[in-house]
């Protein structure tokens, strides 16, 4: 025997081949008549025992105020914290001295969905969303601009709360 | 050419086209069935998107395979690379040609057809493309041809995985071919003829060969699995070790041909088990099916199909139950169990037939079958008792155990 071959000690007296095979076949046959557990996705998006987590971090959503403007004050924290460097922010200032984003774009392909942007935002403006159906026909559709981020309607992620670690 | 010869040829062509298209469609549907059965056994619904209940899935797969890009490795031997899928496909499909699919149909016509002139046929038409007197030998010969396709595919792809797959396939098929051929000798001893029609006729007079020749059936079934290259014998493809084994470098329709060959092999093995051990198209407990007629042909074909279908299902059932063998275990099963078992069985059956026919003088097929059946009960129990308790396929366990025992002694 070659050196270093691991030798398994198996209970060779209790070994069974034919009985074990028949047992296995009985088991697989039984399974053919059991209930299917598949959730058939496009028709059913959640079942009684499964739904998407509220802390799911998907594509972003920009919150708006009552006048429909984005809540973002262009503080620059989210592009600063973003580990993937995928937020493009050009700040602007109106005549009253209110800062707002001139350009606010998120490249969802480069995003790693860490959720830091939502955590860091002082205005609770940018959020990661509970959303996963993002198919598009072209790559450039994945750079979401401000308008698009504001137009999203899906629920936003509830981030991890140290006071309530299990999210209940 | 005489009208009779023309009639024979015409019927042969018609049967050929019918059987070929049936096999092709059947194989396509089998791929669906396989995935459905796999799904059901794993509490999944299986493919159900294309068409009602997923029934059009094979069509979608077929179209996909036709429009996919054909790739060819630069360093592959292009002629053999092209030849290999054909070589594995053709024998697989040809096998079904000699198996009688139903009771012979009485045909009687004498007409003048356009272009070919006067054609005539009188008498029973066997429902097999070619009812060869050596059908049995034909099957053994052609089923071993399939290995050339696989071995060539592995070699000509010029890839290490393919090569290993091809080598494994040749070794495996050659080993199991021996056991397969030998396991059927007792069957020839009883039926005394190598033509499928006679084998079926003999089973109609006596018992289905599953009863008097149970161990033959056992060995044949296992080697049949090995011949189809399916789990638990799919060492040639072994996706966890060899990517996809001998067809790793193939794409599109060439890959499909290997797939079709595999499923055609399943059909053949199932049809052979049904024919050789379960009476073929015979309907048990009645002689109505032997009288001949259109209705009889249709009903017996239904019976044949049901038997075949069960064994096709069985092949899939096993696939989704058992894991793959280790290679040395595979060889051990082939050479150390199946081969001696079938050799010994030939001796026992030959002696038993001699004793029964000449010692006791029971030449009636049924009495002979029953006495062999009793013998098989004893033998089968013995063989299973030995096999089951792991006294044969031990691997390295006994050495480990004796080492442990000596360790205790010190
Ligand atoms: S989720 Fe993370 S990676 Fe994505 S934009 Fe926000 S901070 Fe950047
Ligand atoms: S952290 Fe919030 S307020 Fe600051 S730039 Fe980003 S989105 Fe705007």
Which of A61, A62, A72 is the pocket-test mutation for ligand 2 (most atoms within 8 Å of CB)?
A: A72
Q: How far does the CA of residue A56 sit from the closest CA of chain B (Å)?
A: 26
The distance from CA B363 to its chain's CA centroid, rounded to whole angstroms, is 31
| DSSP-assigned beta bridge partners for residue A89 | A104
At residue B13, does pLDDT exceed 70?
Answer: yes
Q: How many residues are recorded in chain B? A: 410
The pLDDT confidence band at residue A11, using thresholds 50, 70 and 90, is low
Domains of chain A: 60-163 (3.30.70.3270)
d(CA B186, CA B215): 10
Query: What is the predicted pLDDT for the residue at B409?
Result: 39
Q: Which ligand 1 atom is the nearest neighbour of the CA of A106? A: 5
Residue in the structure block whose two tokens are 């050596």: B134
pLDDT digits (tens, 9 = 90+) for B300-345: 888 888 888 899 999 888 888 888 877 777 888 888 888 888 888 8
Report residue B17 as tokens: 């086209």
CB atoms within 10 A of CB A63: 17
What mean pLDDT do residues B227-251 have?
77
Minimum Cα–Cα distance from B333: chain A residue = A17
pLDDT digits (tens, 9 = 90+) for B63-93: 888 888 888 788 777 788 888 888 888 888 8
Q: How far does the CA of residue A21 sit from the closest CA of chain B (Å)?
A: 7
d(CA B99, CA B106): 18
Query: What is the predicted pLDDT for the residue at B396?
Result: 43
CB A126 less than 6 A from any atom of ligand 1? no
Residue in the structure block whose two tokens are 């209790």: A14
A-B contacts (CB, under 8 Å): 68
pLDDT digits (tens, 9 = 90+) for B136-165: 888 888 877 878 888 888 888 888 888 888
Atom 5 of ligand 1: nearest residue by CA position = A111
- State the average pLDDT for chain B: 80
**Whether B408 contacts chain A with CB within 8 A:** no
At residue A83, does pLDDT exceed 90?
Answer: yes
d(CA B181, CA B339): 10
> Crossing angle of helices B3-41/B294-319, nearest 10°?
40
- State the average pLDDT for chain A: 84
Q: Which ligand 1 atom is the nearest neighbour of the CA of A120? A: 7
Minimum Cα–Cα distance from A24: chain B residue = B321
Minimum Cα–Cα distance from B44: chain A residue = A36
3-state DSSP of chain B: CCHHHHHHHHHHHHHHHHHHHHHHHHHHHHHHHHHHHHHHHCCCCCCCCCCHHHCCHHHHHHHHHHHCCCCCCCCCCHHHHHHHHHHHHHHHHHHHHHCCCCCCEEEEEEEEECCCEEEEEEEEECCCCCCCCCHHHHHHHHHHHHHHHHHHHHHHCCCHHHHHHHHHHHHHHHHHHHHHHHHCHHHHHHHCCCCHHHHHHHHHHCCCCCCCCHHHHHHHHHHHHHHHCCCCCCCCCCHHHHCCHHHCCCCHHHHHHHHHHHHHHHHHHHHHHHHHHCCCCCCCCCCHHHCCCHHHHHHHHHHHHHHHHHHHHHHHHHHCCCCCCCHHHHHHHHHHHHHHHHHHHHHHHHHHHHHHHHHHCCCCHHHHHHHHHHHHHHHHHHHHHHHHCCCCCCCCHHHHHHHHHHHHHC
Residue in the structure block whose two tokens are 């018992």: B207
The pLDDT confidence band at residue B397, using thresholds 50, 70 and 90, is very low
- Chosen for mutation from B43, B214, B326 (greatest number of chain A CBs closer than 10 Å) is B43
CB A83 less than 6 A from any atom of ligand 1? yes
The pLDDT confidence band at residue A112, using thresholds 50, 70 and 90, is very high
Percent of chain B with pLDDT over 70: 94
Check CB contact under 8 Å for A12 and B394. yes
Check CB contact under 8 Å for B388 and A38. no
At residue B398, does pLDDT exceed 70?
Answer: no
Percent of chain B with pLDDT over 90: 0
Residue in the structure block whose two tokens are 């060869």: B132
CB A77 less than 6 A from any atom of ligand 1? no
Atom 2 of ligand 1: nearest residue by CA position = A114
CB contacts of A31 in chain B (<8 Å) are 40-43
Does the complex come out with an ipTM higher than 0.85? no
Element (H, E) at A158: none
- The closest alpha carbon to B101, from B271, B328, B353, belongs to B271
Ligand index nearest the alpha carbon of residue A101: 2
Query: What is the predicted pLDDT for the residue at A168?
Result: 60
Q: How far is the CA of A54 from the centre of ligand 1 (A)?
A: 18
- Chosen for mutation from B397, B398, B402, B407 (greatest number of chain A CBs closer than 10 Å) is B397
d(CA B356, CA B132): 30
d(CA B193, CA B201): 10
Who wins on pLDDT, B280 or A38? A38
Element (H, E) at A147: helix A146-151
């Amino acid at each position: 025997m070659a050196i270093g071959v691991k030798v398994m000690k198996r209970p060779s007296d209790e070994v069974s081949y034919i009985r074990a095979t028949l047992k296995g076949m009985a088991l697989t046959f039984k399974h053919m008549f059991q209930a299917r557990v598949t959730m058939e996705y496009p028709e059913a998006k959640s079942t009684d025992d499964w739904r998407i987590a509220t802390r799911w971090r998907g594509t972003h959503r920009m919150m708006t105020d009552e006048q429909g403007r984005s809540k973002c004050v262009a503080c620059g924290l989210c592009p600063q914290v973003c580990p993937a460097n995928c937020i493009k922010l050009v700040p602007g200032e109106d005549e009253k001295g209110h800062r707002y984003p001139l350009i606010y774009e998120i490249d969802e392909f480069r995003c790693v969905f860490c959720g830091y942007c939502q955590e860091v935002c002082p205005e609770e403006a940018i959020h990661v969303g509970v959303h996963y159906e993002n198919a598009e026909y072209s790559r450039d559709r994945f750079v979401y601009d401000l308008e698009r981020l504001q137009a999203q309607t899906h629920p936003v992620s509830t981030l991890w709360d140290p006071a309530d670690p299990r999210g209940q | 050419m005489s009208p009779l010869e023309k009639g024979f040829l015409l019927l042969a062509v018609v049967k050929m086209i019918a059987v070929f298209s049936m096999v092709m469609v059947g194989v396509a549907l089998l791929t669906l069935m396989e995935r459905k059965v796999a799904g059901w056994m794993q509490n999944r619904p299986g493919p159900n998107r294309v068409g009602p209940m997923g029934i059009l899935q094979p069509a979608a797969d077929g179209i996909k395979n036709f429009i996919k890009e054909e790739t060819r490795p630069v360093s592959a031997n292009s002629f053999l690379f092209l030849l290999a899928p054909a070589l594995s496909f053709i024998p697989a499909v040809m096998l079904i040609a000699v198996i009688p699919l139903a009771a012979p149909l009485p045909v009687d016509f004498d007409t003048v057809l356009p272009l070919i002139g006067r054609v005539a046929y009188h008498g029973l038409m066997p429902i097999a493309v070619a009812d060869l007197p050596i059908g049995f030998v034909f099957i053994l010969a052609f089923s071993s041809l399939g290995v050339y396709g696989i071995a060539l595919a592995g070699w000509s792809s010029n890839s290490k995985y393919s090569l290993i797959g091809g080598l494994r396939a040749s070794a495996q098929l050659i080993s199991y071919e021996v056991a397969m051929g030998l396991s059927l000798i007792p069957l020839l001893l009883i039926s005394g003829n190598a033509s499928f029609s006679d084998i079926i006729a003999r089973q109609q007079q006596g018992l289905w060969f599953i009863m008097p020749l149970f161990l033959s059936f056992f060995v044949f079934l296992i080697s049949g699995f090995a011949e189809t290259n399916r789990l638990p014998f799919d060492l040639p493809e072994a996706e966890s070790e060899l990517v996809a084994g001998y067809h790793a470098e193939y794409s599109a329709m060439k890959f499909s041909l290997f797939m079709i060959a595999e499923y055609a092999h399943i059909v053949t093995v199932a049809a052979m088990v049904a024919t050789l051990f379960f009476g073929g198209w015979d309907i048990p407990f009645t002689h109505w099916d032997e009288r001949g007629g259109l209705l009889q042909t249709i009903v017996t074909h239904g019976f044949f199909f049901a038997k075949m279908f069960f064994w096709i299902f069985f092949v899939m059932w096993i696939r989704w139950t058992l894991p793959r063998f280790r290679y040395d275990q595979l060889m051990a099963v082939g050479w150390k169990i199946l081969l001696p078992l079938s050799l010994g069985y030939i001796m026992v059956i030959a002696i038993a037939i001699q004793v029964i026919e000449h010692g006791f003088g029971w030449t009636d097929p049924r009495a002979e079958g029953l006495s062999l059946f009793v013998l098989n009960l004893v033998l089968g129990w013995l063989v299973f008792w030995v096999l089951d308790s792991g006294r044969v396929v031990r691997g390295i366990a006994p050495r480990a155990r004796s080492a442990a025992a000596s360790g205790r002694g010190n």
